[in-house]
């Protein structure tokens, strides 16, 4: 890691109806903080998202990887599988996390970005539509932005959708969703030869670099985030 780490801590995020657990890492001279929105039964220990987070940290970005479900909800979802597709619930949690970042003394001066994977991408975009004044950039990795539905036209944050070239169904869904995103700055990055989880050699590295470049470009220079629109 090229940037010295000044904070590496497990944090509790107190929301109205849940307490979420997260891992907060802040490198020295951080110029932004990226909240990760996991999906499809994943959590803060996802090796793919932790790999991307490490690359962001090396680029001078703080990261918060938080479980969007409580332990009790994870137990329920393990058998039912329905909570991982509850975009309303997940979006409420991502919105709450962004508000927590705005108020916590360690991150309150940092502009916020959201990195969403799978169904978490839909939740991240809904949160961005709700928090136009505080979420300044969004990146989706193999995500389902289409699940944000009617929230897409309200998204104003620069949005990057990253999809594997061989992930054909998700690629089609992303192309259609990008047309609906209301942001002036929006792009679809197709990683050639990659499937849904970017497990092929070097492909996740490409994702991480694309995300680091996007967040560095669009978070740098933003002043203190403000809650709400």
Q: What residues does each domain of the chain span? A: 5-219
Superfamily of structural domain 5-219: Alpha/Beta hydrolase fold, catalytic domain (3.40.50.1820)
Question: Dihedral angle at the C-alpha atoms of 40, 208, 138, 111, nearest 10 degrees?
Answer: 120
pLDDT at 227: 45
Question: How much of the chain, in percent, has pLDDT values that exceed 70?
Answer: 88
- Going through the chain in order, the beta strands assigned E by DSSP cover 5-14, 19-27, 33-37, 62-66, 112-117, 135-141, 159-164, 186-191
Q: What is the pLDDT of residues 48-78, one digit of tens each?
A: 999 999 999 999 999 999 988 887 877 665 6
pLDDT of residue 38: 84
Q: How confident is the model at residue 81 (pLDDT cuts 50, 70, 90)?
A: low
Could you tell me whether strands 186-191 and 62-66 are parallel, antiparallel, or unpaired per DSSP bridges? unpaired
117 in Cβ contact with 141 (< 8 Å): yes
Interval 186-212 mean pLDDT: 97
């Amino acid at each position: 890691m090229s940037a010295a780490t000044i904070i590496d801590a497990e944090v509790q995020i107190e929301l109205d109806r849940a307490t979420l657990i997260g891992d907060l890492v802040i490198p020295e001279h951080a110029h932004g903080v990226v909240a990760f929105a996991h999906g499809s039964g994943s959590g803060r220990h996802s090796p793919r998202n932790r790999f991307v987070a490490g690359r962001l940290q090396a680029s001078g970005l703080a990261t918060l990887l938080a479980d969007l479900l409580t332990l009790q909800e994870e137990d329920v979802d393990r058998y039912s599988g329905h909570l991982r597709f509850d975009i309303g619930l997940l979006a409420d949690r991502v919105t709450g996390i962004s508000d927590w970042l705005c108020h916590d003394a360690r991150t309150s001066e940092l502009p916020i970005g959201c990195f969403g994977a799978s169904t978490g991408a839909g939740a991240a975009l809904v949160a961005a539509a709700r928090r136009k004044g505080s979420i300044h950039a969004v990146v989706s990795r193999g995500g389902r932005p289409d699940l944000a539905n009617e929230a897409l036209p309200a998204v104003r944050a620069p949005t990057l959708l990253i999809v594997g070239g061989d992930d054909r169904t998700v690629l089609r869904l992303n192309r259609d969703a990008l047309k609906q995103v209301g942001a002036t700055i929006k792009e679809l990055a197709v990683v050639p030869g990659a499937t849904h989880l970017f497990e092929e050699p070097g492909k996740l590295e490409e994702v991480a670099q694309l995300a680091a470049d996007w967040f560095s470009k669009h978070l740098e220079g933003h002043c203190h985030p403000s809650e709400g629109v």
